[in-house]
Amino acid sequence: MSDSTDAEPLSDKSKPGPSAKVPEGKSPDSKPHDGRSHDWAGSRRLLRLLRDLMKERGSSQMKLDKIVKLIAQDIVAEVCSIYVLRSGDVLELFATMGLKPEAVHQTRLHVEEGIVGQVAALALPLALSDAQKHPNFAYRPETGEENYQSLLGVPIQRAGRVIGVLAVQNVTPRNYTDEEVEALETVAMLLAELFAGGEIALLDETAAGDDGQGKPMRLDGLALNDGLAIGQAVPHTRGIVISQVIADDPEEERERLVTAVAEMRGAIDDLLARADIAELGEHREILEVYRMFAEDKGWIGRIDEAILSGLTAEAAVEKIQVDTRTRMAKVKDPYLKERLSDLEDLGNRLLHHLLELDGTGPQDLPDDMVLIARNLGPAELLDYDATRLRAVVLEEGSPTAHVVIMARALNIPIIGRCRDIVTSARPGDRIVVDADNEQVLLRPNEEVQATFASTIAERDRRKEIFAATRDLPPVTLDGLRIALNINAGLLIDIPHLHDSGADGIGLYRTEIAFMVRDTFPGVTAQTELYSRVVEQADGKPVVFRTLDVGGDKVLPYWQGEVDENPAMGWRAIRIGLDRPAVLRQQIRALLRASQGGELRIMFPMISDVAEFETARALLDREIEREGVKGRTLPSMVKAGVMLEVPSLYWQLPALLDKVDFVSVGSNDLFQFHFAADRGNPRLVRRYDVLAPGFLKLLHGIASQASAKQVALSLCGDMAAHPLEAMALLGCGFESLSMPAPSVAPVKTMIRSLNLAPLKTLLPSWLELPDHSLRDRLRSYAKEQGVEL
Cα–Cα distance measured from residue 53 to residue 59, given in angstroms and rounded to the nearest whole number: 12
Q: Using alpha carbons, list the distances in angstroms from residue 278 to 231, 343, 529.
A: 29, 23, 16
* Residue 385, number of CB atoms within 10 A of its CB: 13
Element (H, E) at 485: strand 483-488
Give the orientation angle of helix 313-328 with respect to helix 250-272, to 10 degrees. 70
CA separation for the pair 546, 204 (Å, rounded): 56
Task: Please check whether residue 377 is in contact with residue 392, taking contact to mean a CB–CB distance below 8 angstroms.
Answer: no
Instruction: Decide the pairing of beta strands 661-665 and 636-643.
Output: parallel
**Chain centroid offset of residue 105 CA:** 35
Residues 6 or more apart whose CB falls under 8 angstroms from that of 211 comprise none
What is the C-alpha separation between 125 and 132, in angstroms, rounded? 17
d(CA 710, CA 690): 24
Please, what sign has the CA dihedral across residues 272, 276, 278, 283? negative
The amino acid that residue 411 corresponds to is N
Cβ(425)–Cβ(403) below 8 Å: no
Give the Å distances, CA to CA, from 73 to 4, 23, 78, 174. 27, 16, 8, 16
Taking the C-alpha atoms of residue 269 and residue 272, their distance in angstroms, rounded to an integer, is: 5
- Whether 604 and 548 have beta carbons less than 8 Å apart is answered as yes
Residue 391 to residue 372: CA distance in whole angstroms: 9
Distance CA 716, CA 782 (A): 25
Residues whose CB falls within 8 Å of the CB of residue 100, separated by 6 or more in sequence, listed in order: 25, 142, 143, 144
Q: Residue 92, SS3?
A: strand
Helix (H, G, I), strand (E, B) or coil at 246: strand
- Give me the phi and psi of 73, to 5 degrees please: -65, -40
Q: What gap in Å lies between CA 344 and CA 401, rounded to an integer?
A: 13
Q: Diameter of the chain by CA atoms?
A: 94
Beta strands 439-442 and 430-434, pairing class: antiparallel
What is the spatial distance between Cα 78 and Cα 172, in angstroms, rounded to a whole number? 10
Measured distance CA(315)–CA(185) in Å, rounded: 12
In sequence order, which ranges of 167-281 are alpha helices (DSSP H)?
178-197, 250-272, 275-278
Residues 692/765, Cβ–Cβ less than 8 Å: yes
How many Cα atoms within 13 Å fall on the side-chain side of residue 669?
Answer: 27
Contacts of 59 (CB under 8 A, 6+ apart): none
Query: Helices H, strands E: what count in the chain?
Result: 27, 22
Spatial separation of the C-alpha atoms in residues 292 and 367, rounded to whole Å: 33
Q: First-to-last CA distance in the chain?
A: 55
Q: HEC profile for 706-738?
A: HHHCCEEEEECHHHHCHHHHHHHHHHCCCEEEE
Amino acid at 393: V
Give the active site residues: 402, 715
Rg (CA), the chain: 30
Contacts of 343 (CB under 8 A, 6+ apart): 293, 299, 321, 324
